[in-house]
Amino acid sequence: MISTSLTPHRYTHYWSLGDWDSPKWQEAWPLLVDDVPKIIRAANVDLSGPTDDPDVMTPVLVDIEKGIHLNGVEYDSYESFIISKKDTGEFNFCKTARRPYDIVVTCILLRAWMLAPDDFRPRRVSSPFKCTSDGDTEEWGPARDLHKSLWPEDYVDEPWTKEDAE
């Protein structure tokens, strides 16, 4: 059952990266940048890159130096999802409002966690890269399924445990 306790505009994913230059993140980052186009192709969702006008489509930004920057298109856009060295900090978030591009955002966050599990943890746990979400296990199901279709050898759940969320 999809959670109805939050209105769609409050459906948000949160992450932070304490140390962009940590050796594990530096190893994971180029792999993540290589994997994002696979996620985008498999998700088959219309996306746009950096733009101030949701009616104007631009190419999605996936670049090892400039970062990852994407959003939905037109009425399926909400807030941009950005991971970049410039935007590293204690509090990053993306409100997707459960729009179609949410599956891309959540799958990218899952992939980051799979590539750097020691650096990618819930916000309440002390570690360099943290993630949490307004979504529950069921709402992350499509992202887990997409991830499994691309990397069947990986077992993936959400990047936090029930104990972390309490």
- Decide if pLDDT at 22 tops 90: no
**Burial tier of 111 (Cβ tally within 10 Å: 0-12, 13-18, 19+):** buried
Per the model's pLDDT, the better-predicted residue between 10 and 31 turns out to be 31
Q: Distance (Å, rounded) from C-alpha 128 to C-alpha 115?
A: 14
- Decide if pLDDT at 164 tops 80: no
Q: What is the pTM of this model?
A: 0.84
Residues 33 and 63 sit within 8 Å (Cβ to Cβ): yes
Residues 60 and 47 sit within 8 Å (Cβ to Cβ): yes
Write down the pLDDT at residue 14: 82
User: What is the average pLDDT value for the chain, to the nearest integer?
Assistant: 81
Q: Distance (Å, rounded) from C-alpha 112 to C-alpha 155?
A: 14
Write down the pLDDT at residue 89: 61
Write down the pLDDT at residue 5: 44
Q: Which residues contact 37 (CB under 8 A, 6 or more apart)?
A: 62
- Decide if pLDDT at 17 tops 90: no
Residues 70 and 60 sit within 8 Å (Cβ to Cβ): yes
Print the SS3 string covering 14-47. EEEECCCCCHHHHHHHHHHHHHHHHHHHHHCCCC
Mean pLDDT over 45-56 rounds to: 89
User: Of 76, 33, 85, nearest to 57 (Cα)?
Assistant: 76
User: Which of 19-33, 54-68, 72-86, 111-125 has the least mean pLDDT?
Assistant: 111-125
User: Which of 2-11, 85-94, 101-110 has the least mean pLDDT?
Assistant: 2-11
Residue with tokens 């939905």: 72
- Decide if pLDDT at 104 tops 80: yes
